[in-house]
Amino acid sequence: MRILISADMEGATGVTWTADVVPQTEQWQRFRRLFTGDVNACVAGLHAGGATDVLVNEAHSSQRNLLLEDLDPRARLLTGRHKPLSMMQGVDSGVDGVVFLGYHAGAGQEGVLAHTYLENSITGVWLDGVPASEGRLNAALAAEHGVPVLLVTGDDKACDDARDYAPGAGYVAVKECVSRYAAVCSPPQVTSELITAAARAAAGRAGRAPGAVAAHRVEVEFDATHLAAAAAVVPTVERVGPRRVGFDAASMTLTMQAFKVVTAIAAGAVEGIYG
Q: How confident is the model at residue 83 (pLDDT cuts 50, 70, 90)?
A: very high
What does the pLDDT read at residue 100?
Answer: 99
Binding residues for Zn(2+): 8, 10, 60, 104, 134
> Mean per-residue pLDDT for 222-234?
98
Q: Compute the average pLDDT of residues 66-74.
A: 98
Domain covering 2-116+133-204, topology: Rossmann fold (3.40.50)
Task: Give the C-alpha separation, 169 to 227, whole Å.
Answer: 35
Among 117, 120, 119, 137, residue whose Cα is nearest residue 128: 137
pLDDT in tens, 99-128: 999 999 999 999 999 999 999 999 999 999
At 222 the pLDDT is 98
Kindly report the three-state secondary structure assignment for every residue of 183-236.
EEECCHHHHHHHHHHHHHHHHCCCCCCCCCCCCEEEEEEECCHHHHHHHCCCCC
> How confident is the model at residue 51, as a pLDDT?
98
Residue spans of the domains in the chain: they are: 2-116+133-204, 216-268
* Phi, psi dihedrals of residue 2, rounded to the nearest 5°: -110, 125
> Which amino acids are annotated as binding site, given as ranges?
8, 10, 60, 104, 134
* Active site (catalytic) residues: 115
Q: Phi and psi of 34, rounded to 5°?
A: -65, -40
Radius of gyration of the chain (CA): 18
Percent of the chain predicted with pLDDT > 70: 100
- pLDDT in the model for residue 159: 98
Q: Average pLDDT for residues 158-166, to the nearest whole number? A: 98
pLDDT for 141: 98
Side chain identity, residue 100: F
pLDDT at 42: 99
Give CB contacts under 8 A, 24+ apart, made by 232-239.
233/265, 234/258, 234/261, 234/262, 234/265, 237/262
At residue 131 the predicted structure's pLDDT band, cuts being 50, 70 and 90, is very high
pLDDT band at 32 (very low <50, low <70, confident <90, very high): very high
pLDDT, mean of residues 18-38: 97
**Mean pLDDT in residue range 78-96:** 97
Angle between helices 252-268 and 134-144 (to 10 degrees): 150
Say what the pLDDT of residue 130 is: 98
pLDDT computed for residue 77 by the predictor: 98
Angle ∠(47,49,52) on CA atoms, nearest 5: 40
- Residue 209 has a pLDDT of 96
Residue 74 pLDDT: 98
Range 211-227 average pLDDT = 97
Average pLDDT, the chain: 98
